[in-house]
Structure 1
Amino acid sequence: MDKIKEKFRILFISINNVWRYGNIGMDQLLGYLRNKGFNIDIQYYSNKTKLEEIMDSISMEYDLYAFSVNSSNYNKCCNIAKEIKNKKDDAIIDFGGGYPTRYYREIVSENKFIDYIVLGDGEKPTEYLLESLIKNKFFQCNLEIKHDSIVTPFDLDNKKDYFNTNITWTPAYDYYIRDSYNRNSRKVHCIQTKNNVCTGNCSFCNERHGKIVYKNIDDIVEQIEYVSKKFGVKKIFFTDDNILDPNTEIAKRRLFELCEKLKSKNLNLAYQCYMKANSIDDTPLDHRLLNIMREVGFVEVFIGIESGNQSDLDLYNKYTTVRDNYKIIDLLKKYNIFPILGFISFNPYSSKKSIKENFEFLCNVECTYLFNYLYSFVVINKYTDLYNKASKEGLLIDDEKQYLDVKYKYKNKEVEEVLEYVRNKMIPKLNKLDYELDWVTYSMLEHEIWYKDINRYSDKLAELKKRDIEVIKKYLSILFIEFDLEKFKKVEDKFWEYFINEESILKEIYDYYISLHNNEYCTNI
């Protein structure tokens, strides 16, 4: 059977938005299936790469083409798959990932060229699919491919996500093997400490829920040490929805053990993770945990704060309080861990009061990330509690066929003029800014771990942060405290001029840090 497997050629196609990040799901699936003897190649592309360029590099000699699909690369994946089918009508197209898992009915109805969609964790269902296809092609078995977690255009009913109960396998490392040491040193290796489930219940989210299955800590450490020493990777991103799920003492002691073992390796790496706002409290255990996290190299933690007012937190089913939000930010700052805030300033139920409280919260915690002030409109997708609520109350503008990023109106008309101006006029200007103070700041924290004898910019960045906050308060308060749009329009150019001018300073600092990867100014530790 193994020799027959080699004759069935498979191409995995990964479309990423940011080149520094690999594809954790597809790389893990690739490692598992290769270990089972399947003949699989993989190609990595940027979502910005033109379709013609991608198609020129894809061979039509493969039997099956598999795509890792998400909401941002969905259209590109569909266009590539359609072109493959046009060139080779017997090519088999397979979609997988969180996005098609949630919206497989809509995707199948929109695209007649898709043969299979794998739901949930792909290892076992894809193994079954490939073995069935191989038997049908080479042994004329004529097997009916029917699986609870595999969708076809003719088999859509009674489907469910597949959940891995065993996650001991290691990923494939093609993304690093094909690249240079210097470029790999700028990449971020993504890894999870458990299976891909979330214990939250956010009303705007449709992440998968299920029983937590933890990875072996020694296996996690071994993988991190391997990519660090073999490929020169310097940053590790734990992509669990919450590295402390389900916020128990056991979970915290487990992370403490992981940090102890990483610390003993002396790898000089930077780490990032996700947490919930109520994951950390002001307790002796949590203080010890934060201390060792910073010692081992955790420089930033993404927190799903979402709001600075209680009414929005309740709307989002966060089961947290504004006090929780302040507390975790203060605790992280105490240990010099940079808090990256997941924040939603606006939603269909926004009022002047809620917007004002959100703005004041961001100012109080000295947030200088403009996207949290301006780009933070809640995204409403089908099959979420917030979608159902807004639909029931007649606040959705799009028809029922629209299932992603559904347009909505505002229940409180008093905020509509300001929010529509922010969405339609200010966000396009915001998107033109190439450099941002927050990510330059935590880039500084990372590089100070990796390199010695380098320029120090902490005072300069702290000075910029202080000035940024003053500018944000001065100008954006006109919008979000006074709600005086005409007054803001008269001074808006000065607001944007400040941040445009700041870009040259941030670029100079960031370019310096990037140059370190070429060993121009320092010696690697």
Structure 2
Amino acid sequence: MTELSIEPRRKPGHFEIALDPRITDPSALRVSFVILLDGDLVMSPEHLGVAYMASTLREAGFTCEIREAEHDQHEKAIAGVLEFAPRLVCFTLMSLNVPSCLAFCERLRAELPDVVIACGGPAGTFTGTDILRANPFADLVAVGEGEPIILDLAQRLALGESVEDCPGIAYRADDGSLRQNPARPLVHNLEALPYPARDQLIAHGNKLEYVRVSTSRGCVARCTFCSAPNLGNRVQAGKAWRGVGAEHVLDELETLVREHRFRTFDIIDSTFEDPDGGRVGKKRVRAIAQGILDRGLDIFYNVCMRAENWSDDDHDLLDLLVRSGLEKVNIGIESGVAEELLLWEKRATVEDNVRVIRLLREHGIYLAMGFIPFHPYATVETLTQNAEFLRAHAGHNLRRLTERLEVYPGTSIAKRMSEDGLLGERYQSTLDPYDYTFVDERVQRLAGHFASLYNNDDYHERGVLTEQSAVFEFETFNVVVQTFVSRMYRRFHHLPGVVELLERFKDFLHVTRQEMGQANHAFFMDNLDDVLADRLDPAKRIRQLEDVERRFRACIDRIRTEQLRIGMAAHRLGVDITEISSSLPEVTGGGAPRSYNGGAPTW
């Protein structure tokens, strides 16, 4: 009897890099990924979604490049693309860079009329054909995770085949109609993906603010304002959260340290301790932290956490994380008002938020706080309550008091605002995250007033950072100072006199931040009173702009002077500051190599 050979059934979301045998020279197909440096990418340009797609294509043999395009300086990037002569040009869209992408595509289409232009990213995933309607120069839009789509598209283009039946895209058909194919399932096994390409790190001379690392995709929360893949906005079938094992993470970190001599990382997972925020997730987190120590990786890193997942039972784990290099945590606190937490469908309570702020402070971990006081449903009462909350908890950053909701496509809050008639008429075509009105006109006036105080019109109108005022500089400077303290503690606590020196500096910082928090609260309430009394005027705005800039600049100078004094005193105690830099020192001729033994992505 002949035995039948039965192929094992593949799970939905199975992914492997396999090349169609009909393609004999994949390197002949050239793909250009253009990264528009708007929004968050102004401060740190590395884009992991693009990096994963580039490494996927390269493993299959295709030729690709990653090219950055600075805001309002597209000509240089376009010239580079023309020289590269790609068959396919790809853009990752977020709400803030949709106008930039339109302008770039128009210019590109004029120079390369036959090139295929593809868009993707969060904005593309949730709007599909709307992007094609708003951007007549784009040919298709990728919906969801990019690696399977880009590999399929590249092979179809290499074979000269139609892309119209490619799963997971919206496209412009030959007859001009706009169509959208069903989405692909999520990639089931993330370890099947190659490690991301590090073109941008190399292009910046291995010197970035930090290098991004992804250890998981998805989120089991359902925050109404969030466009990252989560339980509340799913467009692809598959598990809501997928992660790689601790050894996979450690291998990537070790490679980055060894090959690029870089050791400051931003782990971009939506929630580091998912999938459950408890036993399962924290077991994985513990394995990663312990593995960092066991391998002697002298690194520093940031993560995102959720407030409700951490309690006084976690001191031991937090200690381990700090020893392994954790120095900053991003948490979406969002509000100090219980009713607003319900609006955002946050699982955390106000009490959870207060507790996690305390826990991080006790462990010397810097808190980067998400906070949304200004939104269409905000009231004078909620603004006042949030101002009081911030005065008591990390109110030294003025922007936390004045932050506006950014409305992203595909979110529950966008749907609700549309139903309530609060979204602007142009929102669907522009995806302008600030194109909405407020229920309370007084809140709207105050939101616009604050947004105009500490940056130019690019930020005021579109949230794009093109200049950095002292308010923004103070935020980033605060992180640098805090990490200076935490790294000094970690590296040099054994040297006599160092701990006492740092404790005095911490006391100085605490007093200075408290003073800034009090001043920010007074400033906020003064402006709120002016709105209620209809006293806002252009002349006062100019005076306030100068006063805010002067106050924050003076604070930066005061802290910097004290930090310099502390650094000089520490040097006299035997401290070598270069040992806590983000990059490892280069090996110089004649010396032995230095050893350090202890520093979601869509398209």
TM norm structure 2: 0.76
Within the candidate set 350, 355, 375, 1:347 is matched to: 375
Equivalences for residues 1-400 of structure 1 within 5 A:
1=21, 3-16=24-37, 17-18=41-42, 20-45=44-69, 47-48=70-71, 50-58=73-81, 59=83, 61-136=85-160, 142-143=161-162, 145-154=164-173, 156-160=179-183, 162-168=185-191, 169-180=194-205, 184-195=206-217, 197-209=218-230, 210-246=239-275, 247-283=277-313, 286-374=314-402, 376-399=403-426
Does the 8 Å CA contact 2:267/2:301 hold for their aligned counterparts? yes
Deviation for aligned residue 1:494: 4.6
Equivalences for residues 432-471 of structure 1 within 5 A:
432-433=469-470, 436-447=473-484, 449=487, 458-471=506-519
Does the 8 Å CA contact 1:291/1:335 hold for their aligned counterparts? yes
SS of corresponding position for 2:179:
coil
Q: Does 1:408 align with 2:431?
A: no
SS of corresponding position for 1:302:
strand
Deviation for aligned residue 1:424: 4.2
Q: How many angstroms apart in 2 are the aligned matches of 1:179 and 1:416?
A: 41
Does the 8 Å CA contact 1:273/1:301 hold for their aligned counterparts? yes
Segments of structure 1 that go 5 or more residues without pairing to the other structure are: 137-141
Q: How many angstroms apart in 2 are the aligned matches of 1:364 and 1:170?
A: 43
Q: How many angstroms apart in 1 are the aligned matches of 2:388 and 2:271?
A: 26
- Larger deviation: 202-211 or 349-358? 202-211
Question: 2:31 is aligned with what amino acid?
Answer: I
Does the 8 Å CA contact 2:395/2:516 hold for their aligned counterparts? no
Question: 2:420 is aligned with what amino acid?
Answer: E
Structure 1 residues 506 and 76: alpha-carbon distance in aligned structure 2, compared to 1, 3 A threshold: farther
- Tell me the matched-pair count: 510
Q: How many angstroms apart in 2 are the aligned matches of 1:234 and 1:76?
A: 32
Q: How many angstroms apart in 1 are the aligned matches of 2:204 and 2:562?
A: 25
Structure 1 residues 495 and 57: alpha-carbon distance in aligned structure 2, compared to 1, 3 A threshold: closer
- Larger deviation: 421-430 or 242-251? 421-430
Q: How many angstroms apart in 2 are the aligned matches of 1:35 and 1:41?
A: 13
Q: How many angstroms apart in 2 are the aligned matches of 1:116 and 1:494?
A: 48
Q: How many angstroms apart in 2 are the aligned matches of 1:518 and 1:219?
A: 23
- Larger deviation: 442-451 or 360-369? 442-451
Deviation for aligned residue 1:256: 0.7
The Cα offsets for residues 54-110 of structure 1, whole Å up to 9 and x where unpaired, read as: 222221622222223323333333333322221121111122222211122211002
Structure 1 residues 115 and 298: alpha-carbon distance in aligned structure 2, compared to 1, 3 A threshold: same
Question: 1:338 is aligned with what amino acid?
Answer: Y
- Larger deviation: 9-18 or 449-458? 449-458
Aligned to 2:14: none
- Larger deviation: 511-520 or 197-206? 511-520
- Larger deviation: 352-361 or 477-486? 477-486
- Larger deviation: 381-390 or 87-96? 381-390
Q: How many angstroms apart in 2 are the aligned matches of 1:408 and 1:111?
A: 22
SS of corresponding position for 1:73:
helix
Aligned to 1:139: none
Q: How many angstroms apart in 2 are the aligned matches of 1:292 and 1:178?
A: 34
Does the 8 Å CA contact 1:15/1:73 hold for their aligned counterparts? yes
Does the 8 Å CA contact 1:60/1:88 hold for their aligned counterparts? no
Q: Which has the higher contact order (CA 8 A, sep 6+)?
A: 2
Alignment identity in percent? Answer: 20
Deviation for aligned residue 1:202: 1.5
Q: How many angstroms apart in 2 are the aligned matches of 1:409 and 1:19?
A: 29
Structure 1 residues 65 and 100: alpha-carbon distance in aligned structure 2, compared to 1, 3 A threshold: same
Q: How many angstroms apart in 2 are the aligned matches of 1:198 and 1:207?
A: 8
SS of corresponding position for 2:309:
coil
Question: 2:335 is aligned with what amino acid?
Answer: S
Deviation for aligned residue 1:458: 4.1
SS of corresponding position for 2:352:
helix
Deviation for aligned residue 1:519: 7.0
Structure 1 residues 77 and 494: alpha-carbon distance in aligned structure 2, compared to 1, 3 A threshold: closer
Structure 1 residues 87 and 306: alpha-carbon distance in aligned structure 2, compared to 1, 3 A threshold: same
Deviation for aligned residue 1:211: 2.7
Deviation for aligned residue 1:222: 0.8
Deviation for aligned residue 1:459: 4.9
Q: How many angstroms apart in 2 are the aligned matches of 1:507 and 1:462?
A: 14
Structure 1 residues 289 and 162: alpha-carbon distance in aligned structure 2, compared to 1, 3 A threshold: same
Does the 8 Å CA contact 2:95/2:433 hold for their aligned counterparts? no
TM norm structure 1: 0.87
Structure 1 residues 186 and 64: alpha-carbon distance in aligned structure 2, compared to 1, 3 A threshold: closer
- Larger deviation: 80-89 or 412-421? 412-421
Q: How many angstroms apart in 2 are the aligned matches of 1:510 and 1:148?
A: 55
Deviation for aligned residue 1:200: 1.7
Deviation for aligned residue 1:148: 2.4
- Larger deviation: 214-223 or 71-80? 71-80
Q: How many angstroms apart in 2 are the aligned matches of 1:272 and 1:467?
A: 27
Deviation for aligned residue 1:193: 1.5
Question: 2:405 is aligned with what amino acid?
Answer: V
Structure 1 residues 404 and 72: alpha-carbon distance in aligned structure 2, compared to 1, 3 A threshold: closer
Deviation for aligned residue 1:280: 1.1
SS of corresponding position for 1:72:
helix
Does the 8 Å CA contact 1:101/1:161 hold for their aligned counterparts? no
Deviation for aligned residue 1:216: 2.0
Does the 8 Å CA contact 2:56/2:151 hold for their aligned counterparts? no
Question: 1:171 is aligned with what amino acid?
Answer: P
Aligned to 2:591: none
SS of corresponding position for 1:41:
strand
Q: How many angstroms apart in 2 are the aligned matches of 1:366 and 1:66?
A: 40
Structure 1 residues 116 and 410: alpha-carbon distance in aligned structure 2, compared to 1, 3 A threshold: closer
Deviation for aligned residue 1:261: 0.2
Does the 8 Å CA contact 2:427/2:435 hold for their aligned counterparts? no
Structure 1 residues 407 and 258: alpha-carbon distance in aligned structure 2, compared to 1, 3 A threshold: same
Does the 8 Å CA contact 2:26/2:60 hold for their aligned counterparts? no
The Cα offsets for residues 233-284 of structure 1, whole Å up to 9 and x where unpaired, read as: 121111011111231310011101110001112222111011112121222x
